[in-house]
């Protein structure tokens, strides 16, 4: 004997059994109790939220005659009379369900409307339920306009759709419209517990949460997935079996990813992605679950009480909320949701997922661009090492006195280039700092043929020390944005300077406060131009006349220099 699917055997048969649609149930029951019935209803909502179910319950309520055959229209159909039993069985002659996807033309609509003029055979009302009504053609909509506006007294229309935007406003204005809500996860979990208890199937609460999340607000999808999970588990429906069935990610993997981000451990991130690939997990769902988890972390940072104690990951969410800053949580969330569409463009999904994790690591606020192991205040040296590099470095004075006004803000650290000894950038010989060969750094940075990140780095630096020797030039520069000073960017800037001077130029980057850079000078010049333009506009006689006569005002920030 074939078992009936859970979605069919557990379909609600009365209004009290209907879950999650209290606003619709309240309106319909009051209308039935008071006898104030409209002739056409439109139910909208995503799949599996109860549109067809409500239509059948409403049809039973309109035609119920009670167990004794003497009953009247009621909001509580008995479920025992001939009308109720036949509607539940799908064979009631006066309840017609029509699929607009396969009967969408004007001819089918004309046949339906022609039959509507005849009185019902057995029932009190003849009820037409048109599912996916948005699939009808424009001619079919036009054909039903008049009948839908003034149908015979014995006819009721129930329309259902998942896409109400495609329905003409002329149809919408003739119907009472009810928007059905998506089912929340806790409500689905509670209903699945009731269903499985009645079906005598053991389950874990974690497994039901995974099924409820996968259903995405659809109770029918949740029941169908539960049917599949029962068959897959062949026993107790466990969280592990459900995750394996759906290919979803265990929260433990997400916690590992976030811990690796907190520790700036790129190797751990790659290892987690590799393990997920070996288990054939869905990387698209992984990014979706990660975005959901990060959203909970961001909420916990702002509203700590939003974390519910019954969440399995509640303790981890609270812990991670204290580790990451609010800016980091927002950045990780943005990267997670924007990386999902990019998976189809990647060589494979695992590569795309790995790059998304590495992108979170690379763009984490405060991280230097060269990698997670490099501290924010490190000194970066970029120049191809040669046999004379160490010798020239040892012959060079330890450091030069910075030309910046705030030398104490510079942070010395270890050189990032192999073969170069670490240098302190706190002091220097006055003779070296005032060398006659010291270039005009700002003009030099403007003249270099560099673009992109290298140009951004060049425009955010100021020269601290310039040592010209027979082996080459060693330039020590300060920047307040060490994240721009990746090994590649500094190396390309050094190559451009080497080509400009015709000899090797070695660059040492030191983090510190910078008063004057090309970027700051350009911004100051632009600000002065904007102020001059605003003053000229304010002094213009025509503008002043407009302000006097019409009360006009110049929008702040709208004036741009020519």
Q: What is the mean pLDDT of the chain?
A: 82
- 257-290: b (≥16 Cβ within 10 Å) or e: bbbbbeebbbebbeebbeebbeeebbbbbbbbbb
CA–CA separation, 425 vs 498, rounded Å?
A: 22
Phi, psi (rounded to 5 degrees) for 290: -65, -45
Range from 35-39, 413-417, 473-477, 534-538 carrying the lowest mean pLDDT = 413-417
pLDDT band at 535 (very low <50, low <70, confident <90, very high): confident
CA–CA separation, 100 vs 462, rounded Å?
A: 71
Residue in 151, 182, 119 with CA at minimum distance from that of residue 41: 151
What stretches of 218-265 show up as alpha helix (H) in DSSP?
Answer: 219-233, 239-246, 251-262
Residue in 472, 519, 479, 522 with CA at minimum distance from that of residue 494: 472
CA–CA separation, 269 vs 259, rounded Å?
A: 9
Residue 205 has pLDDT above 70, yes or no: yes
| 80-86 contacts at long range (C-beta below 8 A, 24 or more positions apart) | 82/122, 83/122, 83/123, 84/60
Residue in 341, 334, 387, 400 with CA at minimum distance from that of residue 363: 334
**Per-residue model confidence as pLDDT tens digits over 65-123:** 988 888 889 999 998 999 999 999 989 999 999 988 888 888 988 888 888 888 998 88
Q: Which of 377-391, 472-486, 542-556 is most confident? A: 472-486
**Per-residue model confidence as pLDDT tens digits over 2-11:** 578 899 999 9
Beta bridge partners of 98: 130
pLDDT band at 332 (very low <50, low <70, confident <90, very high): very high
Residue 376 has pLDDT above 50, yes or no: no
CA–CA separation, 457 vs 445, rounded Å?
A: 10
Residue 474 has pLDDT above 60, yes or no: yes
> Given this model, what pLDDT does residue 521 score?
85
> 267 versus 396: which is more confidently predicted?
267
Pairing of strands 380-382, 505-511: antiparallel
Phi, psi (rounded to 5 degrees) for 155: -115, 135
Residue 486 has pLDDT above 80, yes or no: yes
Residue 413 has pLDDT above 60, yes or no: no
Average pLDDT over residues 312-319: 87
> 556 versus 23: which is more confidently predicted?
23
> In the structure encoding, which two tokens stand for residue 80, read together?
């025992």
Residue 557 has pLDDT above 80, yes or no: no
Query: pTM of this prediction?
Result: 0.58
CA dihedral 374, 376, 378, 380 (to 10 degrees): 70
> 351 versus 400: which is more confidently predicted?
351
pLDDT band at 367 (very low <50, low <70, confident <90, very high): low
Is residue 367 within 8 A of residue 325, CB to CB? The reply is no
**Per-residue model confidence as pLDDT tens digits over 159-168:** 999 999 999 9
pLDDT band at 25 (very low <50, low <70, confident <90, very high): very high
Residue 60 has pLDDT above 80, yes or no: yes
> Given this model, what pLDDT does residue 358 score?
92
How close are the terminal C-alpha atoms of the chain, in Å? 83
- Please report how the helices 51-63 and 22-34 are oriented relative to each other, as an axis angle in degrees rounded to 10: 10
Range from 6-20, 41-55, 284-298, 521-535 carrying the lowest mean pLDDT = 521-535
């Amino acid at each position: 004997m074939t078992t009936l699917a859970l979605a069919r055997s557990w379909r609600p048969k009365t209004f009290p059994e209907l879950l999650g649609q209290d606003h619709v149930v309240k309106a319909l029951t009051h209308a039935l109790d008071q006898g104030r019935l409209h002739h056409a209803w439109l139910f909208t909502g995503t799949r599996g939220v109860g549109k067809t179910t409500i239509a059948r319950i409403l049809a039973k309520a309109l035609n119920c005659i009670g167990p004794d055959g003497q009953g009247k229209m009621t909001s509580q159909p008995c479920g025992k009379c001939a009308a109720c039993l036949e509607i539940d069985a799908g064979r009631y002659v006066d309840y017609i369900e029509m699929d607009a996807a396969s009967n969408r033309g004007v001819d089918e609509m004309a046949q339906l409307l022609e039959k509507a003029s005849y009185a019902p055979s057995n029932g009190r009302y003849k009820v037409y339920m048109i599912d996916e009504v948005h699939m009808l053609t424009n001619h079919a909509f036009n054909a039903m306009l008049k009948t839908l506006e003034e149908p015979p007294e014995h006819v009721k229309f129930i329309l259902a759709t998942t896409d109400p935007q495609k329905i003409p406003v002329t149809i919408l204005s003739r119907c009472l419209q009810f928007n059905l809500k998506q089912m929340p996860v806790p409500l689905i979990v509670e209903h699945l517990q009731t269903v499985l208890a009645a079906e005598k199937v053991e389950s874990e609460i974690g497994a039901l949460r995974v099924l409820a999340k996968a259903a995405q607000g659809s109770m029918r999808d949740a029941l169908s997935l539960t049917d599949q999970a029962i068959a897959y588990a062949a026993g107790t429906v466990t969280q592990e079996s459900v995750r394996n069935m759906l290919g979803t990610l265990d929260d433990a993997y997400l916690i590992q990813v976030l811990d690796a981000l907190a520790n700036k451990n790129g190797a751990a991130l790659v290892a987690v992605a590799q393990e997920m690939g070996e288990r054939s997990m869905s990387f698209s769902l992984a990014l979706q679950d990660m975005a959901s988890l990060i959203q909970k972390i961001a909420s916990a940072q702002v509203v700590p009480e939003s974390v519910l104690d019954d969440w399995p990951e509640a303790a981890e969410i609270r812990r991670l909320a204290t580790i990451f800053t609010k800016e980091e949580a927002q950045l990780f969330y943005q990267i997670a949701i924007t990386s999902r569409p990019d998976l189809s463009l990647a060589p494979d999904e695992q590569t795309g997922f790995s790059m998304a994790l590495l992108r979170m690591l690379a763009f984490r606020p405060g991280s230097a661009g060269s990698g997670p192991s490099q501290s924010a205040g490190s000194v970066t040296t970029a120049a191809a090492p040669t046999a004379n590099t160490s010798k020239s470095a040892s012959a060079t004075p330890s450091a030069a006195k910075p030309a910046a006004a705030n030398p104490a803000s510079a942070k010395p650290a270890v050189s990032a280039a192999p073969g170069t000894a670490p240098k302190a950038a706190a002091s220097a010989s006055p003779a070296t700092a005032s060398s006659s060969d010291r270039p005009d750094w700002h003009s030099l940075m403007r003249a270099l043929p560099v673009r992109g990140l290298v140009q951004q780095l060049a425009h955010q630096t100021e020269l601290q020390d310039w040592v010209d020797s027979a082996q080459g030039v060693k330039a020590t520069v300060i920047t307040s944005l060490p994240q721009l000073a990746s090994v590649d960017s500094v190396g390309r800037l050094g190559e451009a300077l080497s080509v400009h001077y015709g000899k090797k130029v070695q660059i040492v980057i030191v983090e510190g406060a910078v008063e004057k850079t090309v970027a700051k000078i350009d911004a100051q010049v632009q600000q002065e131009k904007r102020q001059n333009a605003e003053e000229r506009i304010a002094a213009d006689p025509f503008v002043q006349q407009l302000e006097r006569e019409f009360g006009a005002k110049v929008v702040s920030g709208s004036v741009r220099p020519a």
